[in-house]
Protein backbone atom coordinates (compact mmCIF):
# COMPACT_ATOMS: atom_id res chain seq x y z
CA UNK A 1 0.00 0.00 0.00
CA UNK A 2 1.41 3.37 -1.07
CA UNK A 3 -0.31 6.30 0.60
CA UNK A 4 0.33 10.01 -0.04
CA UNK A 5 -1.71 12.31 2.20
CA UNK A 6 -0.83 15.85 1.05
CA UNK A 7 -1.21 17.16 -2.51
CA UNK A 8 -2.35 20.35 -4.26
CA UNK A 9 -4.34 20.83 -7.47
CA UNK A 10 -5.00 23.88 -9.63
CA UNK A 11 -7.99 24.60 -7.38
CA UNK A 12 -5.30 26.21 -5.19
CA UNK A 13 -1.62 26.54 -6.13
CA UNK A 14 -0.89 23.19 -7.77
CA UNK A 15 -0.71 22.92 -11.55
CA UNK A 16 -2.68 19.68 -12.20
CA UNK A 17 -6.46 19.78 -12.36
CA UNK A 18 -7.98 17.56 -9.62
CA UNK A 19 -8.80 14.89 -12.23
CA UNK A 20 -5.27 14.95 -13.68
CA UNK A 21 -3.78 14.81 -10.20
CA UNK A 22 -5.78 11.67 -9.40
CA UNK A 23 -4.67 10.06 -12.67
CA UNK A 24 -1.05 10.99 -12.01
CA UNK A 25 -1.34 9.52 -8.51
CA UNK A 26 -2.44 6.18 -9.98
CA UNK A 27 0.36 6.33 -12.56
CA UNK A 28 2.85 7.00 -9.76
CA UNK A 29 1.74 3.69 -8.20
CA UNK A 30 -0.21 5.20 -5.31
CA UNK A 31 -3.12 3.27 -3.75
CA UNK A 32 -4.36 6.25 -1.71
CA UNK A 33 -4.01 9.97 -2.32
CA UNK A 34 -5.42 12.85 -0.27
CA UNK A 35 -6.30 16.09 -2.05
CA UNK A 36 -5.44 18.89 0.38
CA UNK A 37 -5.80 22.20 -1.40
CA UNK A 38 -5.19 25.38 0.57
CA UNK A 39 -8.30 26.74 2.33
CA UNK A 40 -10.88 25.13 0.03
CA UNK A 41 -12.75 21.87 -0.55
CA UNK A 42 -13.68 22.90 -4.10
CA UNK A 43 -11.65 20.13 -5.75
CA UNK A 44 -13.20 17.24 -3.84
CA UNK A 45 -16.04 16.47 -6.20
CA UNK A 46 -13.90 16.30 -9.34
CA UNK A 47 -11.20 14.29 -7.56
CA UNK A 48 -13.53 11.72 -6.02
CA UNK A 49 -15.45 11.41 -9.30
CA UNK A 50 -12.16 10.54 -11.06
CA UNK A 51 -11.03 8.06 -8.38
CA UNK A 52 -12.69 4.82 -9.52
CA UNK A 53 -11.73 5.23 -13.17
CA UNK A 54 -8.12 6.04 -12.24
CA UNK A 55 -7.95 3.16 -9.78
CA UNK A 56 -6.88 5.04 -6.66
CA UNK A 57 -8.58 5.87 -3.36
CA UNK A 58 -9.11 9.61 -2.88
CA UNK A 59 -9.23 11.05 0.64
CA UNK A 60 -10.94 14.47 0.76
CA UNK A 61 -8.76 16.83 2.76
CA UNK A 62 -7.77 20.45 3.16
CA UNK A 63 -4.66 22.39 4.15
CA UNK A 64 -5.91 25.11 6.46
CA UNK A 65 -3.79 28.24 6.90
CA UNK A 66 -3.18 29.30 10.50
CA UNK A 67 -0.91 31.86 12.14
CA UNK A 68 1.03 31.44 15.36
CA UNK A 69 3.04 34.36 16.76
CA UNK A 70 3.13 35.96 13.33
CA UNK A 71 4.38 32.83 11.59
CA UNK A 72 2.36 30.66 9.22
CA UNK A 73 1.54 27.10 10.32
CA UNK A 74 -0.49 24.67 8.19
CA UNK A 75 -3.08 22.14 9.36
CA UNK A 76 -4.10 19.16 7.27
CA UNK A 77 -7.76 18.32 7.91
CA UNK A 78 -8.99 14.93 6.69
CA UNK A 79 -12.66 14.23 6.00
CA UNK A 80 -14.16 17.34 7.61
CA UNK A 81 -17.78 18.04 6.63
CA UNK A 82 -17.46 20.91 4.13
CA UNK A 83 -21.05 21.96 4.78
CA UNK A 84 -20.33 22.68 8.46
CA UNK A 85 -21.19 26.39 8.43
CA UNK A 86 -18.52 27.73 10.82
CA UNK A 87 -15.82 25.99 8.78
CA UNK A 88 -17.19 27.23 5.46
CA UNK A 89 -17.38 30.77 6.88
CA UNK A 90 -13.81 30.71 8.16
CA UNK A 91 -12.50 29.41 4.82
CA UNK A 92 -14.34 32.21 3.01
CA UNK A 93 -12.81 34.75 5.39
CA UNK A 94 -9.28 33.46 4.76
CA UNK A 95 -9.77 33.38 0.99
CA UNK A 96 -11.11 36.93 0.97
CA UNK A 97 -8.09 38.09 2.99
CA UNK A 98 -5.89 36.39 0.37
CA UNK A 99 -7.56 38.48 -2.37
CA UNK A 100 -6.99 41.71 -0.40
CA UNK A 101 -3.38 40.71 0.16
CA UNK A 102 -2.73 40.34 -3.57
CA UNK A 103 -3.35 44.07 -4.04
CA UNK A 104 -0.91 44.95 -1.24
CA UNK A 105 1.73 42.58 -2.63
CA UNK A 106 1.40 44.03 -6.11
CA UNK A 107 1.85 47.57 -4.68
CA UNK A 108 4.99 46.45 -2.88
CA UNK A 109 6.37 44.85 -6.02
CA UNK A 110 5.71 47.99 -8.03
CA UNK A 111 7.62 50.04 -5.43
CA UNK A 112 10.46 47.52 -5.67
CA UNK A 113 10.70 48.04 -9.42
CA UNK A 114 9.20 44.70 -10.47
CA UNK A 115 5.59 45.59 -11.22
CA UNK A 116 3.11 42.82 -11.99
CA UNK A 117 -0.45 43.53 -13.00
CA UNK A 118 -3.21 41.87 -10.98
CA UNK A 119 -4.54 40.66 -14.33
CA UNK A 120 -1.33 38.67 -14.79
CA UNK A 121 -1.72 37.17 -11.33
CA UNK A 122 -5.31 36.17 -12.04
CA UNK A 123 -4.29 34.75 -15.42
CA UNK A 124 -1.71 32.62 -13.59
CA UNK A 125 -4.35 31.59 -11.05
CA UNK A 126 -6.61 30.55 -13.92
CA UNK A 127 -9.54 28.73 -12.30
CA UNK A 128 -8.10 28.60 -8.77
CA UNK A 129 -10.59 29.10 -5.97
CA UNK A 130 -7.76 29.96 -3.56
CA UNK A 131 -5.23 32.49 -4.84
CA UNK A 132 -1.81 32.80 -3.28
CA UNK A 133 1.77 33.94 -3.49
CA UNK A 134 2.67 31.12 -5.91
CA UNK A 135 0.38 32.76 -8.48
CA UNK A 136 2.17 36.08 -7.92
CA UNK A 137 5.42 34.18 -8.38
CA UNK A 138 4.11 32.78 -11.68
CA UNK A 139 3.29 36.32 -12.84
CA UNK A 140 6.85 37.40 -11.92
CA UNK A 141 8.11 34.51 -14.06
CA UNK A 142 5.82 35.51 -16.95
CA UNK A 143 7.23 39.04 -16.74
CA UNK A 144 10.75 37.67 -16.96
CA UNK A 145 11.91 38.90 -13.51
CA UNK A 146 12.72 35.43 -12.12
CA UNK A 147 13.21 31.90 -13.41
CA UNK A 148 10.84 30.05 -11.11
CA UNK A 149 8.55 30.24 -8.07
CA UNK A 150 11.36 29.44 -5.70
CA UNK A 151 13.43 32.42 -6.83
CA UNK A 152 10.40 34.70 -6.47
CA UNK A 153 9.91 33.54 -2.86
CA UNK A 154 13.60 33.93 -2.03
CA UNK A 155 13.80 37.45 -3.42
CA UNK A 156 10.43 39.00 -2.66
CA UNK A 157 7.53 36.86 -1.47
CA UNK A 158 8.76 34.67 1.39
CA UNK A 159 8.31 35.59 5.07
CA UNK A 160 10.72 38.38 5.92
CA UNK A 161 11.28 39.30 2.25
CA UNK A 162 10.41 42.82 1.03
CA UNK A 163 7.08 42.05 -0.68
CA UNK A 164 5.79 39.74 2.04
CA UNK A 165 2.31 40.67 3.24
CA UNK A 166 0.47 38.72 5.92
CA UNK A 167 -3.02 37.33 5.35
CA UNK A 168 -5.69 36.69 7.95
CA UNK A 169 -5.85 33.18 9.37
CA UNK A 170 -6.94 31.73 12.73
CA UNK A 171 -4.49 30.42 15.30
CA UNK A 172 -3.74 26.68 15.20
CA UNK A 173 -5.82 25.79 18.28
CA UNK A 174 -8.86 27.51 16.75
CA UNK A 175 -8.19 25.74 13.44
CA UNK A 176 -8.00 22.37 15.17
CA UNK A 177 -11.26 23.08 17.02
CA UNK A 178 -13.01 24.04 13.79
CA UNK A 179 -11.85 21.03 11.76
CA UNK A 180 -12.59 18.67 14.65
CA UNK A 181 -16.08 20.10 15.12
CA UNK A 182 -16.57 19.44 11.40
CA UNK A 183 -15.78 15.77 12.04
CA UNK A 184 -12.26 15.82 10.61
CA UNK A 185 -8.94 14.49 11.86
CA UNK A 186 -6.14 17.06 12.01
CA UNK A 187 -2.45 16.61 11.24
CA UNK A 188 0.13 19.36 11.59
CA UNK A 189 1.73 19.84 8.14
CA UNK A 190 5.55 20.05 7.85
CA UNK A 191 5.87 21.25 11.47
CA UNK A 192 9.59 21.94 11.18
CA UNK A 193 9.75 23.08 7.58
CA UNK A 194 10.70 26.68 6.66
CA UNK A 195 10.01 29.20 9.43
CA UNK A 196 7.58 27.31 11.62
CA UNK A 197 10.12 25.39 13.71
CA UNK A 198 10.74 28.56 15.70
CA UNK A 199 7.13 28.64 16.97
CA UNK A 200 6.17 24.94 16.87
CA UNK A 201 8.43 24.01 19.76
CA UNK A 202 7.81 20.71 21.64
CA UNK A 203 5.74 22.41 24.38
CA UNK A 204 3.49 23.92 21.72
CA UNK A 205 3.10 20.55 20.01
CA UNK A 206 2.00 19.11 23.37
CA UNK A 207 -0.56 21.92 23.77
CA UNK A 208 -1.91 21.31 20.27
CA UNK A 209 -2.14 17.58 20.99
CA UNK A 210 -4.18 18.42 24.09
CA UNK A 211 -6.35 20.68 21.90
CA UNK A 212 -7.24 17.73 19.68
CA UNK A 213 -4.46 17.45 17.14
CA UNK A 214 -4.28 13.86 15.80
CA UNK A 215 -0.97 13.67 14.02
CA UNK A 216 2.34 15.07 12.79
CA UNK A 217 3.52 15.07 9.19
CA UNK A 218 6.98 13.73 9.99
CA UNK A 219 8.13 12.53 6.58
CA UNK A 220 8.12 15.65 4.44
CA UNK A 221 10.72 16.94 2.00
CA UNK A 222 11.38 20.02 4.14
CA UNK A 223 12.53 17.86 7.11
CA UNK A 224 16.06 16.50 7.38
CA UNK A 225 16.81 13.17 9.06
CA UNK A 226 17.47 14.71 12.46
CA UNK A 227 14.16 16.61 12.42
CA UNK A 228 12.30 13.43 11.43
CA UNK A 229 13.87 11.45 14.26
CA UNK A 230 12.97 14.06 16.83
CA UNK A 231 9.41 14.52 15.50
CA UNK A 232 8.88 10.75 15.48
CA UNK A 233 9.94 10.63 19.12
CA UNK A 234 7.56 13.49 20.01
CA UNK A 235 4.72 11.78 18.13
CA UNK A 236 5.23 8.61 20.16
CA UNK A 237 5.37 10.58 23.40
CA UNK A 238 2.18 12.51 22.57
CA UNK A 239 0.33 9.51 21.07
CA UNK A 240 0.08 11.21 17.67
CA UNK A 241 -0.30 9.56 14.28
CA UNK A 242 2.79 9.83 12.06
CA UNK A 243 2.23 10.66 8.39
CA UNK A 244 4.48 11.06 5.37
CA UNK A 245 3.47 12.94 2.23
CA UNK A 246 4.85 14.56 -0.88
CA UNK A 247 3.17 18.01 -0.72
CA UNK A 248 2.96 17.68 -4.50
CA UNK A 249 2.17 20.90 -6.42
CA UNK A 250 2.58 19.57 -9.98
CA UNK A 251 5.11 21.69 -11.86
CA UNK A 252 4.79 24.41 -9.19
CA UNK A 253 7.30 23.01 -6.74
CA UNK A 254 10.32 20.90 -7.59
CA UNK A 255 11.49 18.02 -5.42
CA UNK A 256 7.97 17.03 -4.33
CA UNK A 257 7.01 14.21 -6.73
CA UNK A 258 3.81 12.28 -6.03
CA UNK A 259 4.64 9.46 -3.64
CA UNK A 260 8.07 10.95 -2.84
CA UNK A 261 7.10 10.44 0.83
CA UNK A 262 4.41 8.04 2.01
CA UNK A 263 2.35 7.11 5.07
CA UNK A 264 2.41 3.73 6.79
CA UNK A 265 -0.94 1.89 6.26
CA UNK A 266 -1.39 1.36 10.02
CA UNK A 267 -0.99 5.07 10.64
CA UNK A 268 -3.50 5.79 7.87
CA UNK A 269 -6.02 3.48 9.55
CA UNK A 270 -5.46 5.27 12.87
CA UNK A 271 -6.12 8.57 11.13
CA UNK A 272 -9.41 7.33 9.66
CA UNK A 273 -10.41 6.13 13.15
CA UNK A 274 -9.64 9.56 14.59
CA UNK A 275 -11.81 11.19 11.93
CA UNK A 276 -14.67 8.78 12.66
CA UNK A 277 -14.34 9.49 16.40
CA UNK A 278 -14.34 13.25 15.78
CA UNK A 279 -17.48 12.96 13.64
CA UNK A 280 -19.21 10.92 16.33
CA UNK A 281 -18.25 13.34 19.14
CA UNK A 282 -19.41 16.27 17.02
CA UNK A 283 -22.71 14.48 16.39
CA UNK A 284 -22.11 14.64 12.64
CA UNK A 285 -22.61 11.80 10.22
CA UNK A 286 -19.30 9.96 9.79
CA UNK A 287 -17.79 10.59 6.38
CA UNK A 288 -18.03 7.54 4.13
CA UNK A 289 -14.79 5.63 3.75
CA UNK A 290 -12.70 7.31 1.06
CA UNK A 291 -13.74 6.21 -2.41
CA UNK A 292 -11.98 4.72 -5.38
CA UNK A 293 -9.58 1.84 -5.47
CA UNK A 294 -7.62 -0.27 -7.85
CA UNK A 295 -9.34 -1.73 -10.83
CA UNK A 296 -9.46 -5.52 -10.59
P1 LIG B 1 0.32 31.45 0.44
O2 LIG B 1 -0.65 30.31 0.57
O3 LIG B 1 -0.14 32.47 -0.50
O4 LIG B 1 0.74 32.03 1.75
O5 LIG B 1 1.64 30.80 -0.20
C6 LIG B 1 2.19 29.66 0.43
C7 LIG B 1 2.48 28.61 -0.58
O8 LIG B 1 3.63 28.98 -1.29
C9 LIG B 1 2.77 27.24 0.01
O10 LIG B 1 1.81 26.32 -0.41
C11 LIG B 1 4.07 26.80 -0.54
O12 LIG B 1 3.94 25.56 -1.20
C13 LIG B 1 4.43 27.84 -1.55
N14 LIG B 1 5.83 28.17 -1.35
C15 LIG B 1 6.39 28.69 -0.24
N16 LIG B 1 7.72 28.88 -0.41
C17 LIG B 1 7.99 28.45 -1.68
C18 LIG B 1 9.17 28.38 -2.46
N19 LIG B 1 10.34 28.78 -1.95
N20 LIG B 1 9.06 27.89 -3.72
C21 LIG B 1 7.88 27.51 -4.23
N22 LIG B 1 6.73 27.55 -3.52
C23 LIG B 1 6.78 28.02 -2.27
ZN1 LIG C 1 0.88 25.36 -1.78
FE1 LIG D 1 1.99 23.82 3.62
FE1 LIG E 1 0.95 21.94 1.06
**Region of poorest pLDDT, from 65-69, 98-102, 103-107, 292-296:** 292-296
What pLDDT, on a 0 to 100 scale, did the predictor assign at position 296? 41
Of 91, 15, 78, residue with least CA distance to 252 = 15
How many whole angstroms separate alpha carbon 225 and alpha carbon 238? 20
Mean pLDDT rounded to a whole number for the chain:
96
Residue 279 in contact with residue 286, Cβ under 8 Å?
A: yes
Arithmetic mean of pLDDT, 80-100: 97
Q: Which residues pair with 7 in a beta bridge?
A: 248
Is the CB of 38 within 6 Å of ligand 1? yes
Q: Whose CA is nearest to atom 6 of ligand 1?
A: 133
Confidence of residue 294 (pLDDT cuts 50, 70, 90): low
Is the CB of 95 within 6 Å of ligand 1? no
Is the CB of 190 within 6 Å of ligand 1? no
* 230-283 confidence digits (pLDDT tens): 999 999 999 999 999 999 999 988 889 999 999 999 999 999 999 999 999 998
Cα dihedral across residues 241, 247, 68, 203: positive or negative: positive
> 84 CA to middle of ligand 4, Å?
23
Which stretches within the chain are classed as H helix?
18-27, 44-54, 85-111, 118-125, 133-142, 149-152, 172-181, 202-210, 225-237, 265-281
% pLDDT > 70, the chain:
99
* 99-114 confidence digits (pLDDT tens): 999 999 999 999 999 9
Of 199, 50, 84, 53, residue with least CA distance to 62 = 84
How many whole angstroms separate alpha carbon 13 and alpha carbon 124? 10
How many whole angstroms separate alpha carbon 6 and alpha carbon 187? 10
What pLDDT, on a 0 to 100 scale, did the predictor assign at position 291? 75
Phi, psi at 293, each rounded to 5°:
130, 165
Is the CB of 153 within 6 Å of ligand 1? yes
pLDDT at 295 over 60: no
Amino acid sequence: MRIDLHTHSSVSDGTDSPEALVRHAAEAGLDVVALTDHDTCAGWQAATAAAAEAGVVVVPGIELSTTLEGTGAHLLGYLPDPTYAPLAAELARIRSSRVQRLKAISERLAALGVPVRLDDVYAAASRAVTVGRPHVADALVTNGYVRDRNEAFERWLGEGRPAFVRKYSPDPAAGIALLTAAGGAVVLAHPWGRGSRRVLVPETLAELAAAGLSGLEVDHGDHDEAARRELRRLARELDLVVTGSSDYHGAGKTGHRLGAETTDPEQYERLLERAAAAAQRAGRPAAPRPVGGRRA
